[in-house]
Amino acid sequence: MPDAIDYQLKRLDHLQGIVQRLAGNSFLIKGWAITLATAILGFAVKDPGTTARLAFLAVVPTLIFWGLDAYYLAVERGMRNLYNTSGRTLATAHYNAAANNLPTADIVPESIGFCGWFCGAIVPATSTLYLVLLAALCVVGFGLFTRTVAALITV
């Protein structure tokens, strides 16, 4: 019969897998955000008649990706905290052989709330990427890019 340590080690393996999947999802979201924003910017610069509309249209999915990325980061932080707590309890785990009680193997993440989500959104690794994307969209949307290129061509 497996003992408490085996259950806790398996639980730590599951938590580590969850954290890896969340980090991978966050990476994929960043890639999709860059791809979508770049594609829309390419179409916006190509057709001067729809530049502003397309560029500002891309702001919405960029903000959605930013929010989703912040959510994944907040959940990942919660899972890492749970992993750290589980690691500490593993060090002090005890098995009550008389009652045949095994420690819980439940994986219940911390609740995220607005503060956790917002902290995930303003982390430099997340906010820098999305602020640069939003700045590029605004530069193209307000026509600063086409005016600058036109001025460089005429010089």
Q: How confident is the model over 12-23, as pLDDT tens digits?
A: 888 888 889 988
More confident site: 94 or 73: 73
* Percent above pLDDT 70 for the chain: 72
Phi-psi region of 3 (alpha: psi -120 to 50; beta: other; left: phi over 0): beta
- Mean pLDDT over each residue of the chain, to the nearest integer: 79
Confidence tier at 99 by pLDDT (50, 70, 90) = very low
Rounded to whole angstroms, how far apart are CA atoms 1 and 141?
A: 65
Instruction: Among 8-17, 19-28, 137-146, name the one with the lowest average pLDDT.
Output: 137-146
Residue spans per domain, the chain: 4-101+109-154
Rounded to whole angstroms, how far apart are CA atoms 88 and 98?
A: 24
* Percent above pLDDT 90 for the chain: 25
pLDDT, position 98 = 43
Number of H helices, E strands in the chain: 6, 0
The contacts of residue 43 (CB under 8 Å, 6+ apart) are 50, 54
Q: In degrees rounded to 5, what are phi and psi of residue 96?
A: -90, 95
Report pTM.
0.75
Residues 110, 60 contacting (CB under 8 angstroms): no
